[in-house]
């Protein structure tokens, strides 16, 4: 439900984990206490994840900035929500703060302490699923004190490293090298193939392309299975790698688009 923003005079203190900021009439002591509460939310999340056997979350300053902006809005509005009238959605807020991701989730809460907020999330199936998801690896937490309680926001994501086309090509080239194929030094043909949706690119240096693989993903730790099978066939001796801007990416999500030509 969307609600209109309204002006409220508040004395609030804010904490966003390692970096703490004070607003209004918050004292240094209150600010330090909120920093401890925010760090406690972060620490409790990683303790719970360790007990569940999932990977540790890393702190993401961009996510923390996005969480803080929304947390301040929650404190001003009163009733907690994931989105208020005129506010961008979660993915847009995170992208505007500088985060790059292929998956993003958010928990919000109000409570007296960090421990109580963590317990609320662990007792709620949806919030617990977000907090313990093995699919996320980054988090940003913000805590705001207002009206005698704590407002908390935790934004979780699976991070995507921003890379240039040349960096993406180098990453994919490293995955191709164990196959033994020669990597061509001129990526223009593969980049052209990447930018198109279908068709076989022109021959490069007199060699005739025999197979082209195009894909788009946020994960550059492995090659597509179809490409792996072609490489394992032993019928190819050279490869050309090209990257280009992703196509049809939903909202603010990040991904890489790649083409590999086999000769």
- The pLDDT value given to residue 203: 65
Q: Which residue bears the tokens 């803080």?
A: 68
Pairing mode, strands 19-22 and 13-16: antiparallel
The answer to whether 173 touches 261, Cβ cutoff 8 Å, is no
pLDDT along the chain (263 residues), means of 10: 24 41 43 79 98 97 95 91 94 95 96 95 96 97 92 96 95 97 93 89 76 94 96 95 89 91 95
| pTM: predicted TM-score of the whole model, two decimal places | 0.78
**Residues contacting 36, CB < 8 A, separation 6+:** 15, 114
d(CA 45, CA 28): 26
């Amino acid at each position: 439900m969307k609600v209109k923003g309204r002006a409220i005079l508040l004395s609030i203190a804010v904490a966003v984990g390692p970096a703490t900021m004070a607003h209004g009439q918050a004292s240094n002591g209150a600010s330090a206490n909120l920093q401890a509460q925010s760090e406690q939310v972060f620490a409790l999340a990683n303790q719970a994840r360790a007990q569940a056997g999932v990977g540790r979350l890393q702190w993401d300053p961009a996510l923390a900035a996005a969480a803080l902006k929304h947390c301040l809005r929650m404190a001003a509005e009163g009733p907690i929500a994931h989105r208020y009238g005129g506010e961008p959605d979660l993915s847009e807020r995170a992208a505007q703060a500088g985060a790059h991701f292929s998956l993003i989730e958010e928990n919000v809460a109000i409570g007296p302490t960090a421990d109580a907020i963590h317990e609320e999330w662990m007792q709620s199936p949806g919030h617990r699923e977000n907090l313990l998801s093995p699919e996320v690896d980054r988090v940003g937490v913000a805590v705001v004190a207002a009206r005698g309680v704590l407002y908390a926001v935790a934004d979780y994501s699976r991070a995507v490293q921003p890379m240039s086309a040349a960096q993406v090509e180098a990453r994919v080239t490293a995955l191709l090298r164990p196959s033994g194929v020669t990597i061509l030094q001129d990526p223009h043909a593969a980049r052209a193939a990447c930018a198109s949706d279908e068709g076989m690119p022109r021959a490069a240096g007199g060699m005739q392309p025999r197979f082209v693989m195009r894909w788009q993903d946020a994960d550059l730790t492995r090659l597509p299975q179809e490409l792996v099978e072609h490489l394992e066939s032993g019928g190819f001796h050279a490869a050309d790698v090209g990257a280009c801007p992703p196509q049809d990416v939903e909202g603010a999500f990040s991904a890489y688009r790649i083409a590999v030509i086999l000769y």
